[in-house]
Amino acid sequence: MTTPDSQPVPSTATSDPLRILITGSAGFVGSHLVERFLNEGHTVIGVDNYISGQVSNTELFLEHPRFTFIEADVSHGIPYEGEKLDWVMHFASPASPPHYQQFPVETLMVGAQGTQNGLELAHAHGAGFFLASTSEVYGDPHVHPQPETYWGNVNPIGVRSCYDEAKRYAEAITMAYHRSRGVNTRIIRIFNTYGPRMRPDDGRVITNFVHQALRGEPLTVYGDGSQTRSFQYIDDLVEGISRLMMAQYHEPVNLGNPDEFTMLELVNEITLIAGRQVSKKFERLPLDDPKMRNPDIILSSNLIQFKPSTPLRFGLSEVFKYFSSLDNDQ
Amino acid sequence: MTTPDSQPVPSTATSDPLRILITGSAGFVGSHLVERFLNEGHTVIGVDNYISGQVSNTELFLEHPRFTFIEADVSHGIPYEGEKLDWVMHFASPASPPHYQQFPVETLMVGAQGTQNGLELAHAHGAGFFLASTSEVYGDPHVHPQPETYWGNVNPIGVRSCYDEAKRYAEAITMAYHRSRGVNTRIIRIFNTYGPRMRPDDGRVITNFVHQALRGEPLTVYGDGSQTRSFQYIDDLVEGISRLMMAQYHEPVNLGNPDEFTMLELVNEITLIAGRQVSKKFERLPLDDPKMRNPDIILSSNLIQFKPSTPLRFGLSEVFKYFSSLDNDQ
C-alpha cells in the first residue's frame, strides 16, 4: 500500500520489537494479525475461548518461539501474568450474524466486560489499547458513504442489537478510558472483510458463494441481488491496523474498501473464478439486514495513507484456494 | 390517572403483595417507587451504593417493617440472599449529565454489568425484570415526537455516550435475556421527570431554576431559551411504571409528558410560583446538548391508559416546597 516514490508510512513493520496481546487470536482477523506481527519480529500473546475462533488458527503458530497462547474467555478476565505489554488488541467477538445471534449474551459481554478487561490490562501495563469495532455501528445508514462523523441508525432492540450495541458500547467505554484515565487508545470500524481463514459457517456472502460454487450448488442470493456491499481483503485491513498503531489518533477510523459490488456482480466474479457457469437461487432478505454500507475512507487515507489495493478477483481466488484445501483435507 | 367512568387499570395497587428489589432505591425515581410499593402493602428491598443516590432517601423508609436496605454496587453483584423475588427493578445509574460525566466508567458499568446482574437475579428467582431506560436513547432526534420505533441519533463517542450507549446496551441485553432465556422483562424510556427528592446538584433545569429563584439569583438560560423540554411529574411516572408491571409487554415503552415548554416559558412559570420578578442570564449550550425531545405516548396510552395529568404549576410548587424545606434544614 505504499507508492514507489513515497517514504514508507510508519507501521509495525518499521517498529522496534513489541509485545502484543491479541484477544480473538484464533479468529479470522486475529489470526492474520498474529501472523503479521510474528513475521515482523514482535512477540505475540494470543487469547481465545474458541466460541467462534478456530483451533486450527492457533495451531498455525504454536511452534513459533515468539508466540504464546492463553485459552480464556476475556469477558471473565484476561489471565496474563507476563512481561510488560506494549499493546492490548481486542479482536474477540462473534462477528457474523449466525454466530452472534446464537450467542447474544456472550456477544454483549465480550463487547462490555471483554472490552473493559482489555482496557484495564492496557492501563495496568501502560500499553496501548486497540479496539476492533465495526461498520455495524452505522446500522442501516441514511448517509452514503459513511464517514466516521455519522452517528448511525441502529435498532437498539433488534435481533442484531446484541452485536451492534455491544460495539457501540465498546467504543463509548474505550473513549471513556481514554478521556478519564489517559489510556492510549485506537478504534477502528471494520467494514466487510474477507480472505483465507474465514469460518466456513460464518454465513457471509463470499463464504457462502465460494462454498456453493465449489460444491456445484446454486448461489443463494437474498432479495433481488441489487443490494451492494464493499469487500475489503484481509491484507489491506491488516496493513491499515499496523499503520494506525503508529499514528496518534484516538477517535474511530473506518477501514474498508469503498469499491461497491452488487450481489449479482459478485456472482459474476465467482463464476469467472470457478471457470464454469453457476446458477442462482433467490431468497427473502433476513430481518434487519442492512441494505447498503460503504466506507468513507478520507480520514484513513489522510491519516495513514490507507489505500486498499487488493483486487477482488485476486482476493476471491485466494479464498477459493483456501476453501478448496479445507475440502481436500476432509 | 383513571377516568371516573372507567374500570381502574390493573397496577400494583390492586396486586397481591409482591416482593420487589429496587436498585437505585436511594435515587430520585427509585425512592418514589419504594414509597409507593410500601404504601400498597408490598415488601421492598432497596439497593444503592450512593454514587448518586442520597442517604436521606434511604432513611425515609428504614423504620418501615417491610423495607430492607442493602448497600452495594450492583455493577459488582447484587448480594441478595432472601426469599423469592417477584420483581427486580433496575433503576440504578447516575442520570444527570454532571453526574454521569463525573463517573463515565461507573455509568457504563451499571448499564452493562449492573443490568446483567439484575437480569441474572431475576432469572434465578423466576422474577420479572424492569429496566429504567431513558429518552436519551433517542439522542438528538430527527423525528418529533419520538415513538418507540424510532432508532435514535446518538453519538457513540460523544461526552454523553457513557450514559446514552450504556442505556442502549441495557435495552439490548434485556431483550437478549427475554428472547434467549425467557425472562419476563419490561423496558421504559423515561423522559424528563421532576419532583421532590431530585438531587439539588443534578444540573437539571427545573432544579437549577427553583434553586436560583429561592436564592434570589438570576435564572441561567442556555442558548436563546427557545429549546423546548417536556416535563413529567414523578407521580405520573410512578403510576405508569406500576401499571406496566401488570401488562404483558416486553418492548420499550415511553413514559413522559408530551406537553412542551420552552425554557423561557418555564422561567415565567417559576416567576409566578416565586411570587416576584426573577431575572435571567444567558449562557452557551453545552456540547452535544439535545435541542428538543418530546415523547410520543400513543403506545403507553393504548397499552396502560397512561395519561400524565399533573399540571406543571402544581408539580413546580411541590419542588419549591421540597427545596425550601432543605434550605430551612441547613
Closest by alpha carbon to B69, among B47, B93, B38, B52? Answer: B47
- The mean pLDDT value for A289-308 works out to 90
H or E segment and range at residue B98: helix B97-102
Q: Which three cell numbers stand for residue B45?
A: 428491598
Query: Cα-flanking dihedrals φ and ψ of residue A253, to 5°?
Result: -130, 125
Contact of B188 with chain A, judged by CB distance below 8 Å, is answered with no
> Does residue A50 fall inside a structural domain?
yes
pLDDT at A285 (0 to 100): 81
Contact B176 A108 (CB under 8 A): yes
Which residues of chain B register pLDDT less than 50?
A: 2
Q: Give the number of beta-carbon pairs within 8 Å between A and B.
A: 111
Contact of A233 with chain B, judged by CB distance below 8 Å, is answered with no
Distance CA B40, CA B33 (A): 11
Q: Which three cell numbers stand for residue B190?
A: 423515561
> Does residue B326 fall inside a structural domain?
no
pLDDT at B286 (0 to 100): 72
Distance CA B266, CA A260 (A): 52
Contact A173 B162 (CB under 8 A): yes
Contact of A168 with chain B, judged by CB distance below 8 Å, is answered with yes
Range of the domain at B91: 18-195+232-258+289-309
Distance CA B226, CA B222 (A): 9
- Torsion sign, CA atoms B324, B326, B329, B330: negative
pLDDT at B229 (0 to 100): 85
Distance CA B18, CA B306 (A): 22
Q: Is B279 exposed, middle or buried (0-12, 13-18, 19+ CB in 10 A)?
A: exposed
Catalytic residue status for B163: yes
Amino acid letter at B73? D
Contact B172 A180 (CB under 8 A): no
Minimal Cβ distance to B151: which of A108, A155, A172? A155
Contact of A76 with chain B, judged by CB distance below 8 Å, is answered with no
Minimal Cβ distance to B171: which of A109, A156, A179? A156
Strand boundaries in chain A, DSSP class E: 19-23, 43-48, 67-71, 87-90, 128-134, 185-190, 193-194, 219-222, 228-230, 232-233, 252-255, 260-262, 280-283
Contact A171 B161 (CB under 8 A): yes
Minimal Cβ distance to B168: which of A105, A168, A252? A168
Nearest chain A residue to B162 by CA: give it. A172
Taking the CA of residue B7 as centre, how many other CA atoms within 13 Å lie in the half-sphere pointing to its CB?
Answer: 5
CATH code at A77?
Answer: 3.40.50.720
- Nearest Cα of chain B lies from the Cα of A127 at a distance, in angstroms, of 19
> Does residue B214 fall inside a structural domain?
no
Residues of A recognised as catalytic: 163
pLDDT (tens digit per residue) in A97-147: 889 999 999 999 999 999 999 999 999 999 999 999 999 999 999 999 999
The region that residue B135 occupies, defined by phi over 0 for left and psi between -120 and 50 for alpha, beta otherwise, is alpha
B97-117 as b/e, with b when 16 or more CB fall inside 10 Å? bebbbebbbbbbbbbbbbbbb
Contact of A78 with chain B, judged by CB distance below 8 Å, is answered with no
Mean pLDDT of the residues in chain B: 94
> Does residue A226 fall inside a structural domain?
no
> Does residue A243 fall inside a structural domain?
yes
The torsion defined by the Cα of A90, A91, A93 and A96, in degrees rounded to 10, comes to 150
> Does residue A325 fall inside a structural domain?
no
Determine which of A173, A177, A287 to mutate to test the interface with B (most B C-beta atoms within 10 Å): A173
Distance CA B261, CA B268 (A): 10
Distance CA A150, CA B139 (A): 13
pLDDT at B5 (0 to 100): 56
Q: Which three cell numbers stand for residue B329?
A: 434544614
Tell me the three state secondary structure of residue B110: helix
pLDDT (tens digit per residue) in A18-73: 999 999 999 999 999 999 999 999 999 999 999 999 999 999 999 999 999 999 99
> Does residue B168 fall inside a structural domain?
yes
pLDDT at A1 (0 to 100): 52
> Does residue B271 fall inside a structural domain?
no
Minimal Cβ distance to B151: which of A105, A139, A251? A139
Query: What count of other Cβ atoms lies within 10 Å of the Cβ of residue A126?
Result: 12
Contact B180 A105 (CB under 8 A): yes
Give chain A's domain count.
1
Contact B187 A152 (CB under 8 A): no
Contact of B152 with chain A, judged by CB distance below 8 Å, is answered with yes
Distance CA B191, CA A293 (A): 32
Does position A2 have pLDDT exceeding 60, yes or no? no
Task: Provide the CA A81 distance to its chain's centre, in angstroms.
Answer: 27
Q: Which of B100, B138, B163, B177 is an active site residue? A: B163
Which ipTM score applies to this complex?
0.94
Grid cell 488488541 — which residue? A89
Can you give the three-state secondary structure of B28-87, one letter per residue?
HHHHHHHHHHHHCCCEEEEEECCCCCCHHHHHCCCCCCCEEEEECCHHHCCCCCCCCCCE
Using a pLDDT cut of 70, give the percent of chain A over it.
Answer: 95
Minimal Cβ distance to B161: which of A154, A155, A172? A172
pLDDT band at A329 (very low <50, low <70, confident <90, very high): low
Distance CA A321, CA A327 (A): 10
> Chain B contacts of A175, Cβ < 8 Å?
157, 161
pLDDT (tens digit per residue) in B76-90: 999 999 999 999 999
